[in-house]
Amino acid sequence: MADKIAMNPDGTLHVPDNPTIPFIIGDGIGPDIWRAAVRVFDRAVEKYYGAARKITWKEVLAGEKAFQETGNWLPPETLEAFRAYLVGIKGPLTTPIGGGIRSLNVALRKELDLYVCLRPTTWYPGTPSPVKHPEDVDMVIFRENTEDIYAGIEFAAGSIQADKIQAFMAGELNVNYGFSDTTGVGIKLVSEEGSKRLVRAAIQYAITHKRPSVAIVHKGNIMKFTEGAFKQWGFEVAEEEFANTTYTWGQWERTKQAKGQEAANEEQREAEQAGKIIVKDIIADNFLQQILLAPKDYAVVATLNLNGDYISDALAAMVGGIGIAPGANINYRTGHAIFEATHGTAPRFADTDSMNPSSVILSGVMMLEYLGWQEAADGIRQALAETIKQRTVTVDFFNLMEHATLLRTSQFADAIIEKF
Ligand code: NAD
């Protein structure tokens, strides 16, 4: 009998053998890629666990399909299902144009307080890439998902709100901006709690997955009390909560000031030899250079919302583009998680059975790992890697590869399943 995934009192997940998992099929190419992906998930679970385990899929509505059937882009029952069943998966959704909901994805993240946007970027051999050594890219991005300028607190130029804020700034804070009547206003909020829970999750991940470093990526040289504070709070989490397992560049800096650079370097070497995770920081613009110049130097990345948006796509491009980049939105405290294809609905290609289902398939792999169903997750990942290595691929990769065989979305799923 189908059962609910739940959070145990000790913070671990209770995963029944027959969990109910809500899914949103998605708009545009969503149905094509979902139909391919769900066959892969079911066959993998069957192959690795026989009759002992099975997922019961529960469709919930969002996006165009929801609007057509209920008149609501994001019906309350959908949110309720994700809240009740804890773990879900979704295809891409059309962003409604006009008033009301700004973005369905943002609404889901906000409602469930899914504060981590998790984006692993790993290269699968054979995948077309614009860089010479895509195999050097193996990073996991922890992007803060609820705060920052990205939270969308903004007011149009000439609006009463924009005028009031500017009048307050001029009158109370002595901040005058030149073009007040024609200036839109956006507000950047970064909190200690929001920063710390994100960096905490990144460090915890590095410990669990035995990764050597966590890089805090920020623009704190310019935005000192938001991005700079994010870095500071990140180092504090490491030093206060993970003192036995991490060494921070904040500590290195203090040792350098007290005892000189050589002593600081020696301290860091000792920490590395002891297997400690190095928690370092880097300015965001430099980071975007370094991922091209020295990607091997980075493993886990912790960053704010807007930086994370840019970084995720830049790294995804290096390992094969949005057709293959998976993602998840997670609240590690409540256990709520929604796994998702990171690309959009590509509406021109809807119902063509031609697009790449790898992004949603690998998101499902992340979900299986989150449930602790590691054998099925590994099995799918290996079979997908093998399928790409054999150059049997969908059109996006086919166009960039030599001697490849073109597969439809459904055939790509068949090719994976054959390899189990
Ligand atoms: P898009 O990602 O839908 O498509 C851009 C291009 O990328 C496509 O034309 C296609 O060539 C390629 N592409 C995308 N997915 C692919 C796949 N699986 N396989 C192969 N190629 C693929 O971006 P867009 O055109 O800017 O957005 C279309 C709609 O999707 C908009 O309504 C947008 O708001 C929405 N969107 C949703 C999400 C989401 O739900 N997570 C993310 C981004 C955009």
Question: Which residue among the candidates 17, 309, 378, 414 is catalytic per the annotation?
Answer: 309
- For residues 346 and 356, what is the distance between their CA atoms, to the nearest angstrom? 11
159 is in an annotated binding site: no
Give Cα 152 to chain centroid, integer Å.
Answer: 19
Give Cα 169 to chain centroid, integer Å.
Answer: 35
Question: Which residue among the candidates 150, 205, 298, 332 is catalytic per the annotation?
Answer: 150
Q: Is 418 exposed, middle or buried (0-12, 13-18, 19+ CB in 10 A)?
A: exposed
Q: What is the CA radius of gyration of the chain?
A: 23
- Is residue 150 part of the annotated active site? The answer reads yes
User: Nearest to residue 29, comparing CAs of 85, 120, 92, 81?
Assistant: 92
From 345, 352, 407, give the residue whose CB has the most ligand 1 atoms within 8 Å, as the site to mutate.
345
Q: What sections of 222-323 are H helices per DSSP?
A: 229-241, 249-259, 261-273, 284-293, 305-318
pLDDT at 77: 94
CB 74 within 8 A of CB 101: yes
pLDDT at 102: 67
Question: Which residue among the candidates 58, 177, 224, 285 is catalytic per the annotation?
Answer: 285
Instruction: Show the tokens assigned to 128.
Output: 């077309």
List phi, psi (to 5°) of 395: -60, -35
pLDDT at 1: 61
User: Nearest to residue 252, comparing CAs of 240, 237, 264?
Assistant: 264
pLDDT at 25: 97
Ligand 1 pocket check for 226: Cβ under 6 Å? no
Ligand 1 pocket check for 338: Cβ under 6 Å? no
CA 362 vs CA 332, 339, 367, 376: distances in Å: 20, 9, 9, 12
- Is residue 351 part of the annotated active site? The answer reads no
329 is in an annotated binding site: no
* Strands 185-186 and 246-248, sheet pairing: unpaired
Note the pTM of the prediction, 2 decimals. Answer: 0.93
Give the angle 321-326-328 at the CA atoms, nearest 5°: 145
Residue nearest to atom 38 of ligand 1 (CA): 344
Over residues 97-130, the pLDDT tens digits come to: 765 666 788 888 888 999 999 999 999 999 999 9
Q: Which parts of the chain sit beneath pLDDT 70?
A: 1, 98-102
pLDDT at 142: 98
For the chain, domains (ranges, CATH) are: 1-118+325-419 (3.40.718.10), 129-148+192-319 (3.40.718.10), 153-186 (no CATH)
User: Nearest to residue 34, comparing CAs of 5, 78, 65?
Assistant: 65
Map tokens 């000439």 to a residue.
158
The ligand 1 atom nearest the CA atom of 93: 40
Give the angle 189-187-226 at the CA atoms, nearest 5°: 35
DSSP 145: -
Give the angle 372-373-378 at the CA atoms, nearest 5°: 115
pLDDT at 151: 86
Give Cα 8 to chain centroid, integer Å.
Answer: 24
* Strands 87-90 and 20-24, sheet pairing: parallel
pLDDT at 99: 58
From 33, 322, 360, give the residue whose CB has the most ligand 1 atoms within 8 Å, as the site to mutate.
322
Cβ atoms within 10 Å, residue 415? 19
From 343, 362, 395, give the residue whose CB has the most ligand 1 atoms within 8 Å, as the site to mutate.
343
Instruction: Show the tokens assigned to 162.
Output: 């924009």
pLDDT at 110: 87
- Is residue 27 part of the annotated active site? The answer reads no
- Is residue 285 part of the annotated active site? The answer reads yes
Ligand 1 pocket check for 105: Cβ under 6 Å? yes
